[in-house]
Amino acid sequence: MLQGTPILVLKEGTERERGKGASAGNIAAARAIADTVRTTLGPRGMDKMLVDSMGDITITNDGVTILKEVDVEHPAAKMLVEVAKTQDQQCGDGTTTAVVLAGEFLKRSEYLLEQNVHPTVITRGFQLALQEARRLLESEIGTPVKAEDEAILVDCAITAMGSKGVYGSREELAKIVVNAVRKIAEVRGGKTVCDVDQIKVEKRHGGTIADTQLIEGIILDKERGHPRMPTEIQDAKIALLNSALEIKKTEIESKINIKNPNQIQSFLDEEDKTFRRMIDAIKAAGANVVVCQKGIDDVVLHYLAKEGIYAVKQVKESDLQKLARATGGKIVTGIKELSAADLGKAAKVDERKVGDDDMTYVTGCSNPRSVSILIRGGTEHVTQEVERSLHDALKVVASVLEDGVVCPGGGATEIDLAVKLRKWAASVGGREQLAVEAFAQSLEAVPWALAENGGYDSINTLIELRSAHTGASANKNVGVNLADGKAADMWKLRVIEPMRVKSQALTSATEVADMVLRIDDIIASKKSSPAPPSGGGHDH
């Protein structure tokens, strides 16, 4: 019956790419993204200036920031942006490395596809290579470290910030980072856990990067609620409230009928009594500082000022929770429930002027589980780049404390894995061996890019590195010394990275490469055109 009748399965206007054309397009898009960030890799990497649609400028060489800001259209390229985001969430550092590796895996795969090696064979080879690489990281390349080893933690922080724009102040910032992470580290179920979100980072331009400081307590971006309140409270007892200190409107619509003038006065008196009861409850608990998540009525602020109580209103919920961790207080919902046991304690609460703003400092907490870092810098762009650098360093130090394993940086880990995987490939056999060899060769892209970005001859550097990692005198710690482009021991140069950064970068890059390689058909619906303007289509 249906012979000769065309069957329309896809909607008209649907774009479709199949087979090798689809693979080639995806690989080209992913490589374009990898090439964008490749020049930013390492301490000698270049910066990118990103201008958004509003005209705001961001200057950075942080891989994930660049990829977040770039408006990516191609679906395969978007997958590489996801790799950078995952790497950033898990490790903070290594975002550029992960994207460069993913791009390189796809580049080498393209050559294998041209040799008629099936995509599933390549992906299987990549998975085998990844498992072996992770085993090598854990058993041979990684070095266990203790949480007390402050020098190594500082070195890891310095390495993480080495490629950022804070080069001159790295040592001071690294010490701040290590102290901050150690303060918030906790042991849960026999494991160390470092929740970096418990470190509050505030930035104010003015001063220099060297003025950045760690505050063992919390800074609130708020001033006191009333000008007659004291500017400083010693031996602070802090009430943390997440309900408003004002009379709420009723949920249902209501009217108050007043028939004579005396009723107005009694109504106002009742309101005043309610406010006084709030003040009495705060005084009875013994609080001399009130931090409120919601609003505080002007009359209440006036009474608090008369009592010499320091109050801050409209504080963010996250800041209130950090304050509770720092001062040991409990967040109370209703003022009636407030008791002396709920109060947080701090040696001092005071208002200070930072730049153009008044800020509240809560300092001198006995054992703060939450701390603050105040970033200073000449301009807003500088403070933003310092914030990005600190984010990377905080995550890196946290992952070293949590995992207790580090490995050499400067491309040493990648070149060592490449050499060992090449040897191991022979034992795999079959066509998968080709994929394992391609995987090993891809890893060399990291030291290659480091040398290239440093302005050195990549080929010479790579040959020197390979010979240092093979033979009887092989040293797994030899990487690229970016002072002269020669091979050098990274432990002696104190270029150290957490193993988690390397492991996560390899895993994410391999998974996204596998995903892109397995696609053999791209079916894209036509973008819907904007609807015609409403109204008749006649000219008037």
39 has catalytic annotation? no
Q: For 380, phi and psi rounded to 5 degrees?
A: -65, -40
Catalytic residue, from 60, 65, 86, 95: name it.
Answer: 95
For the chain, give the number of residues: 540
Q: Which two tokens stand for residue 450?
A: 């480091």
Q: Which two tokens stand for residue 379?
A: 């301009």
392 has catalytic annotation? yes
Whole-angstrom Cα Rg for the chain: 30
Residue type, 224: R
Catalytic residue, from 62, 88, 93, 155: name it.
Answer: 62
* Under 8 Å between Cβ of 410 and 110: no
Phi-psi region of 21 (alpha: psi -120 to 50; beta: other; left: phi over 0): alpha
Q: CA triplet 321, 385, 178: central angle to 5 degrees?
A: 55
Please name every residue paired with 214 in a beta bridge, in sequence order, or none if there are none.
373
Count CB atoms within 10 A of the CB of residue 231. 14
Q: Which two tokens stand for residue 518?
A: 């397995």
Catalytic residue, from 96, 212, 327, 383: name it.
Answer: 96
- Pairing type for strands 405-408 and 478-481 reads unpaired
Q: How far apart are CA 438 and CA 488, in angstroms?
A: 26
333 has catalytic annotation? no
* Under 8 Å between Cβ of 485 and 461: yes
Q: Which two tokens stand for residue 443?
A: 């890893």
211 has catalytic annotation? no
* Under 8 Å between Cβ of 304 and 279: yes
Q: How far apart are CA 43 and CA 431, in angstroms?
A: 38
Q: Which residue has the tokens 């970096």?
A: 196
Count CB atoms within 10 A of the CB of residue 306. 12
Instruction: Give the contacts of 524 (CB within 8 A, at least 6 positions apart).
Output: 14, 15, 16
Q: For 203, phi and psi rounded to 5 degrees?
A: -125, 140
Instruction: Give the contacts of 198 (CB within 8 A, at least 6 positions apart).
Output: 184, 322, 325, 369, 370, 371
Q: CA triplet 388, 390, 396: central angle to 5 degrees?
A: 110
Q: How far apart are CA 165 and CA 113, in angstroms?
A: 40
Q: Which two tokens stand for residue 374?
A: 């105040």
Q: How far is CA 485 from CA 44, 301, 454, 458, 473, in A?
A: 11, 64, 7, 9, 21
Tell me 206's DSSP state.
B
- Pairing type for strands 331-332 and 344-354 reads unpaired
Q: Which two tokens stand for residue 98?
A: 């992960």
Three-state SS annotation for 131-166 = HHHHHHHHHHHCEECCCCCHHHHHHHHHHHHCCCCC
Residues that are catalytic: 62, 95-96, 392
